[in-house]
Amino acid sequence: MTEQTIYKGLAGVTVDTTAVSKVNPDTNSLLYRGYPVQDLAAKCSFEQVAYLLWNGELPDEKELQAFIDFERSHRKLHDNVKAAIDLLSTTCHPMDVARTAVSVIGANHPLAQDSSPEANLEKAMALLACFPAVVAYDQRRRHGQDIIEPREDLDYSANFLWMTFGEEAAPEVVEAFNVSMILYAEHSFNASTFTGRVITSTLADLHSAVTGAIGALKGPLHGGANEAVMHTFEEIGIRKDESLEEAAARSKAWMEDALAQKKKVMGFGHRVYKNGDSRVPTMKGALDAMIKHYDRPEMLGLYNGLETAMEEAKQIKPNLDYPAGPTYHLMGFDTEMFTPLFIAARITGWTAHIMEQVADNALIRPLSAYNGPEQREVPSA
């Protein structure tokens, strides 16, 4: 047998080109179609960034208005999507609800099997528009609350919060949510995007690819980490009356103990960034704004204690999920809803990659090195 090089986890392997985004771990930078993500987060709406990821350029006023009109008029859930959600128990994981809902949304679409650029763009826009209603409804039904219909006078982020909580969110909260959506929108060939590209490479349709990508995102080594971060905070104990310093001391001790037991602590480390995740400073800014808005200094204490202890012991930096988890918690989202929020944002990046894959397709089919038993005879009966 000839010796084959194994690239476990495809680590370090470049499998294709992409014009959607560029991750540069050396400079800790992330560009969407050439624009630094932190600048987009500071200056743009999520709607503008979605348009950019799909079309390659930021929209002019007319293009943006046309997209906004489309998005606002496609927010409602089809009755059979709502019925499919109702069939699922309120104790199942919200990622299972999200995955099922996207499957039904796909089956409903008149262009379901059409993978032309026009059809794929329309399906991507429609999915982005109605997916928030899935998350909002799922959180509400778990609390025995009725669905809240979307409002066309609110932008994407404000309407998302409206449909979830039934009240208009403060501008600071809308802004922090908008920033989180932009930061989560795209990140090159991560596991879920690659899954979506693999599925697309078989010439399967867009919703199949997104449904598969949701499966990949669920795992705690990927998107599930934002939920896992909050479980860590919950395990340490969130005590609203505690000072920043007291909370920091408790969380630092927790981390030291976890690392002594060789535990992997979610929200830290990254396959590509080894000197810090480019998105963290901007997301931490949004978290700081929420800590101030809700007057919850003890959350900052918990955050600081874990980060300091990890830095001292292993010099491993937080990734985006670390500040995102507590931010969504402060806004009032249930912990299990955090990864579905990630989906809402990443629908943009996934579908941009799906369209890129269709445009220059090659079936993705790697090789494997067999290490099972040598050929042998089946015993006679």
Minimal distance in Å, beta carbon 107 to ligand COA? 31
The count of C-alpha atoms lying within 13 angstroms of the C-alpha of 364, restricted to the half-sphere facing its C-beta, is 17
Site string for ligand COA, 298-317 (x = CB under 6 A): ----------------x-x-
Site for ligand COA in 207-236 (CB under 6 A): 221, 225
Nearer to ligand COA, 23 or 68 (CB): 23
Tell me if 141 contacts ligand COA by CB under 6 A: no
Q: Is 10 in the site for ligand COA (CB under 6 A)?
A: no
Residue (212 or 269) nearer to ligand COA, CB: 269
By beta-carbon proximity to ligand COA, the closer residue of 12 and 372 is 12
- The number of beta carbons lying within 10 Å of the beta carbon of residue 359 is 9
- Measured distance CA(225)–CA(202) in Å, rounded: 29
Measured from the CB atom, the residue of 25 and 297 that comes closer to ligand COA is 25
86 is a catalytic site residue: no
Nearer to ligand COA, 86 or 257 (CB): 257
3-state secondary structure the chain: CCCCCCCHHHCCCCCCCCCCEEEECCCCEEEECCEEHHHHHHHCCHHHHHHHHHHCCCCCHHHHHHHHHHHHCCCCCCHHHHHHHHHCCCCCCHHHHHHHHHHHHHHHCCCCCCCCHHHHHHHHHHHHHHHHHHHHHHHHHHCCCCCCCCCCCCCHHHHHHHHHHCCCCCHHHHHHHHHHHHHHCCCCCCHHHHHHHHHHHCCCCHHHHHHHHHHHHHCCCCCCHHHHHHHHHHHHCCCCCCCHHHHHHHHHHHHHHHHHCCCCCCCECCCCCCCCCCCHHHHHHHHHHHHHHHCCHHHHHHHHHHHHHHHHHHCCCECCHHHHHHHHHHHCCCHHHHHHHHHHHHHHHHHHHHHHHHHCCCCCCCCCCCCCCCCCCCCCC
Q: Which stretch binds ligand COA (CB under 6 A): 75-83, 210-218, 235-243, 260-268?
A: 260-268
Q: Is the Cβ of residue 88 or residue 316 nearer to ligand COA in the bound state?
A: 316
Q: Among 46, 160, 268, 328, which residue sits at the site for ligand COA (rule: CB under 6 A)?
A: 268
Catalytic residue among 138, 205, 277, 321: 321
Least distance in angstroms from the C-beta of 170 to ligand COA = 29
222 is catalytic: yes
User: To the nearest whole angstrom, how small is the minimum distance from the Cβ of residue 276 to ligand COA?
Assistant: 12
Asked if 270 is an active-site residue, the reply is yes
Residue 319 Cβ, how far from ligand COA at the closest point, in Å?
Answer: 4
Closest residue to ligand COA, based on beta-carbon distance: 269
Residue nearer to ligand COA on the CB measure, 148 or 272: 272
- The residue type found at 123 is K
Give me the least distance between CB of 38 and ligand COA, in Å please: 17
265 belongs to the binding site for ligand COA (CB under 6 A): yes
271 interacts with ligand COA by CB under 6 A: yes
Instruction: Find the shortest distance in angstroms from Cβ 269 to ligand COA.
Output: 2
Nearest residue to 188 (alpha-carbon basis) of 311, 65, 17: 17
Identify residues 110-139 at the interface with ligand COA (CB under 6 A): none
Q: Which residues are catalytic?
A: 222, 270, 321
Residues near ligand COA, by CB under 6 A: 221, 225, 264-271, 314, 316, 319, 321
